[in-house]
Amino acid sequence: MRRYWLVFSQAVTILLAAYFVVVTMKPEWLNRRPVMSASTGIALQEAPTPPSAPAPPGSFRSAAQKASQAVVSINTSKAADRPSSSDPWFRFFFGDQGAVPQSGLGSGVIISTDGFILTNNHVVEGATEIEVALNDSRKTRAKIIGTDPETDLAILKVNLDRLPAMTLGNSDALQVGDQVLAIGNPFGVGLTVTSGIVSALGRNQLGINTFENFIQTDAAINPGNSGGALVDVNGNLMGINTAIYSRSGGSMGIGFAIPVSTAKLVLEGIVKDGVVTRGWIGVEPADLSVELMETFGVKAKKGVLITGVLQNGPAALAGVKPGDVVVQVGGKDVANVSELLSTVAALKPGTATQFKLQRRDDGVEVTVTPGKRPKPKQQAPQVVPGLPGR
């Protein structure tokens, strides 16, 4: 009996030693368990679930997780009249054609725990109902607080608690080559994150908005991404994705986002005053060209040519004349019409500002007190080479 007990104790000792070696050298062996395939009945080995580990080098996991919580999907509906006719033959073949609702799709960014959401104006323009879907599966109706068609931005408001809000970054610090992520709901497939770099800054004269200062990126942006977030590698908001250049309707590596610096001005104006207030001086500007330079006798090599001045407008009262070339506004150089419009729009109405002009061979400085920019007239939508991704 004693001999059997000795054999048993030695066997247990050996098994414990083997277990200790496995635990020390190959702990993953102990985490594998057979899984029976439902279709074949074969016992398979399932890889162990790894513990939560830090992101590998080069991963954007943290930025994507941080920013995605504050990106929402926006679904809109709009009643549209379908053509109808009193012709009995038309009604016989086609029946009564009534109003048929249209749906739209876009994205948005929660920028305040109070429920304010930034998106594009073209996403919600004309919508009769707006539904916002959060990343945590909650859905709610939203109302429009205000819109700014000239920058294609809109502010929505939802009433929900425990809202995640995205941190606003400094888009003025972006440089070409910086890595960025585009987050939105392309084609309605669900929240999607794509990566790329900043391809260019200050893109304008695209014919998309009145005031253009776009961030260009090669991060994939598709229809449905409009109003979504362009973020840096820290998950901070850098811009609102607005449009793409496309010949196929899909991403071709050229996307445009409105800088968050512009969005802040629009947000503050709409929330505080209900409208965005911009400066205005009452001139008709044009980019310098050989023909115009010959016509007006311009000697300047850079700047923006003034081809017309509104009588009794702020510029006329300050002494600006047709043929003058605006070189600087408030100490800031202006090289084209888009830069002049944006710079003047940023001026505070009623506050005098120095303008540096080139008048034939002479340099002239005038003090202009800008007025309040009139509301833009409603225009029919135009087809542009960029496809605003609805």
Query: Which of 119-123, 198-202, 203-207 is predicted with the least confidence, judged by mean pLDDT?
Result: 203-207
Mean pLDDT of the chain: 81
Q: Which two tokens stand for residue 356?
A: 């540096």
295 falls within a domain: yes
- What is the tens place of the pLDDT at every residue in 225-266? 899 999 999 999 999 999 888 776 667 788 999 999 889 989
- Among 276, 304, 327, identify where a domain stops: 276
- Same structural domain, 272 and 291: no
| Distance from C-alpha of 113 to C-alpha of 70, rounded to nearest angstrom | 10
184-213 mean pLDDT: 87
284 and 270 in one domain?
A: no
89-141 pLDDT, tens digit per residue, is 555 555 555 555 667 889 999 999 999 999 999 999 888 899 999 999 899 99
Residue 320: name the closest of 336, 340, 305 by CA: 305
Write down the pTM of the prediction. Answer: 0.70
Most confidently modeled of 50-59, 310-319, 358-367, 377-386? 310-319
Any idea what the CATH number is for the domain that residue 261 is in?
Answer: 2.40.10.10
pLDDT at residue 368 above 70? yes
In this structure, are residues 309 and 283 in contact, taking their beta carbons and an 8 Å threshold? yes
Q: Do 309 and 217 share a structural domain?
A: no
- For the chain, what's the residue count? 390
Q: Looking at the 3D structure of the chain, how many domains does it have?
A: 2
Question: Is 66 domain-assigned?
Answer: no
Q: In terms of residue numbers, what domain contains 343?
A: 279-372
**Count of H-run helices and E-run strands, the chain:** 8, 24
Residues annotated catalytic, as ranges: 122, 152, 226
Interatomic CA distance for residues 229 and 56, integer angstroms: 24
Return the higher-pLDDT residue of 372 and 28: 372
What's the CATH number where 304 sits?
Answer: 2.30.42.10
**289 & 316 share domain:** yes
CA dist 383 → 93, 207, 289, 386 (Å) = 33, 9, 26, 8
> Is residue 25 over pLDDT 60?
yes
Residues 320 and 338 in one domain: yes
Residues 265 and 347 in one domain: no
Contact 266, 274 (CB under 8 A): no
- Report which of residues 171 and 94 the model is more confident about: 171
